[in-house]
Structure 1
C-alpha cells in the first residue's frame, strides 16, 4: 500500500507516517524507486502503535513494545502500567473528594477535615509554590 492510502486508513497525516518511519517505530518496505510500501503487517503494527499512544506511551516506548526482542520491552510496559495505576488511584481519590464536597455540610470547605485532608494530599506544581509575603 502507498503511504497516502495507509494515512487515510489510519486517519493520520502522511508526514506522521514518515516521522514514525524516520524514528524507526514502524519502517515500511521500499519499492525499487524508493517509495514507502506498506504491507498488511505494517498496517497492523501501526494500529498497535496508535493503541499504545492511546494509553499514553511515547514513541521510544512504543518502539520497544513493538519489537519483542528489545531488552527494555517489559520494563517499558511495566512503567506505563504503573503510571496508569497511579493515575487511576489519583482519579479515584479526586472522585471521592468531589462526591464528599457535594454533600459536605460545612459552611467552608477549609473547616472540613475530609476536604482539607484531600487538599493536603495533592502535590503542588513547581511553579505553584507560594513565596512568603514580606509585607505585614
Structure 2
C-alpha cells in the first residue's frame, strides 16, 4: 500500500512541497492512485531517498535528473563531473585552510606586510 505525500515526507524528513518540486522538475516519478493522488510505494520512496542522498552530496536537481537517467553513460558523465568539481573544491579548501593557519601564526601585524601572505593572495 502506498503512502500519502505527507507520510512520505515525514518518513524522509523533508517537507511535502520538496517532494512535489522534485516531481515537477523530473527528479522523482510518483505513481497516482485511482483518485489522482500521489501514492508513494516502496519504489517511489526509495527513489526519493536516492534524490535526497544525491542532494546531500551536492548534486543539483538537473544533475540528479541526469544522474538517474536510464542511460548509464549519461549518469556516469554527470557523476564524474561532480567528482571532479568536488576534488577541485577540496584543493581550494585546503589552500584556504593553509592560508588561514598562516595568518593566525604570522609574525607580521598586517597581512600585506608578509611575503608569504602576499604569495597566498596571488594564488588562483
More contact order relative to length (CA 8 Å, sep ≥ 6): 2
Question: Secondary structure, in 3 states, of the residue corresponding to 2:78?
Answer: helix
Map 1:10-21 to 2 at 5 A. Answer: 10-21=12-23
Number of the residue aligned with 2:94:
92
Structure 1 residues without counterparts, runs of 5 or longer: 123-136
Question: Secondary structure, in 3 states, of the residue corresponding to 1:35?
Answer: coil
Greater share of residues in helix: 2
Aligned-pair distance for 1:33? Answer: 1.1
Picking from 61, 64, 67, the partner of 2:63 is: 61
Q: How many residues align?
A: 122
Map 1:107-126 to 2 at 5 A. Answer: 107-122=109-124
Number of the residue aligned with 1:29:
31
Aligned-pair distance for 1:73? Answer: 1.3
4+ residue stretches of structure 1 with deviation over 3 A? none
Distance 2:117 2:29 in 1: 51
Q: Is the 8 A contact 1:25 1:59 kept in 2?
A: yes
Question: Secondary structure, in 3 states, of the residue corresponding to 2:59?
Answer: coil
Distance 2:52 2:20 in 1: 15
Does 1:7 pair with 2:9? Answer: yes
Query: Which TM-score applies when normalising by structure 1?
Result: 0.81
Distance 1:56 1:83 in 2: 10
Structure 2 residues without counterparts, runs of 5 or longer: none
Q: Is the 8 A contact 1:28 1:36 kept in 2?
A: yes
Q: Is the 8 A contact 1:61 1:76 kept in 2?
A: yes
Root-mean-square deviation (CA, aligned residues, Å) is 1.5
Number of the residue aligned with 1:133:
none
Q: Is the 8 A contact 1:64 1:72 kept in 2?
A: yes
Aligned-pair distance for 1:70? Answer: 5.3
